[in-house]
Chains A and B, each alone.
Chain A
Amino acid sequence: MSNETVVFNEAFLPMTMGIADNSVLTEIYQEYLHNLDSLLELLRAAPEKSDKLYIEVHKLKSSSASVGAHLLAGMLRDVEHNLLTRQGDIDANTTALLVLTCRQTHDLVSGLLGKLVTKE
């Protein structure tokens, strides 16, 4: 487990990318939520092919780190490493924790989206 404990830092993306336009930020966060939903869907469906899970985990790890979802990014980094080294699916406890963190992140990003849309 990584030391990154901030679930979602909403100042991170505007600061690192220099994006101040709320409509652009809204589009990016919406795409991010789409990525989150894709992984949650895959985890719910109990994937038979770990390579598909690996691709989704890899993708969400990078986008999480970029939008400021640091806790999830750290967790996905560990899961990605385990998928690569063990060549298998993730265990039930890890899946449960991952789903919980995805949902927590989803709620926080959705909350920010609501504020951004109101400001537009």
Chain B
Amino acid sequence: MTEAARVCIIDDDRVFLKLCREVLASNGHHVETFSSADAIDWDIVAQCQFVLLDLLMKGEDGLDIIDRLEASDFKGAVHSLTGLDMQGADALIAHLLGSKVLVSGIIQKPFFGDTLLTALDDALDATRVLPFSEESRSLLELAIGS
């Protein structure tokens, strides 16, 4: 593990909020959780190094939240969390690739705890190395196997 990171998890499914919180907090990270876009404290999110974001939620979805992060001072990485089948989800992937926010990858539910920890480490490395769009593209292309 690298150093403790400030992490936000945004998901309308409390099963995943608790699961991810446990995996990340038990590995020493500082975790905040939000169960909807309405519940988000944007000041806290702006300070996070890593945002784990569900794409399909009631109300404002993950793409709306990425758009709002893009307009803010957020400097961390967003990692998408989804139960969607990403094959053929071209419009969604194009949206993620086109974002100015660093989208470091996609985790498909269900997943292993270790997958989440590796994604966090990789994203933290990426934010240190390169600015956003090119790094987003290469990480995302790797994640979706294109």
A positions within 8 Å CB-CB of B: 16-19, 21, 24, 27-28, 31-32, 34-35, 55, 58-59, 61-63, 65-67
Contacts and interface: CB of A to CB of B under 8 A. Distances in A.
Contact of B109 (A17, A19, A62): A62
Contacts of B114: 18
A28 B19 contact: yes
Contacts of B113: 16-19
Interface residues of B, number: 20
Contact of B19 (A17, A35, A55, A61): A17
Contacts, number: 61
B109 A28 contact: no
Interface in B90-138: 109-114
A34 B83 contact: no
B110 A27 contact: no
Contact of B15 (A16, A58, A66): A66
B19 A18 contact: no
Contacts of A24: 18, 22
Contacts of A21: 22
Interface of A is mostly: helix
A62 B112 contact: no
29 contacts: A16-B113, A17-B23, A18-B23, A19-B19, A19-B22, A19-B23, A21-B22, A24-B18, A24-B22, A28-B15, A28-B18, A28-B22, A31-B13, A31-B14, A31-B18, A35-B13, A55-B58, A58-B56, A58-B83, A59-B12, A61-B83, A62-B83, A62-B109, A62-B110, A63-B15, A65-B83, A65-B109, A66-B15, A66-B110
Contacts of A65: 83, 109-110
Contacts of B15: 28, 31-32, 35, 63, 66-67
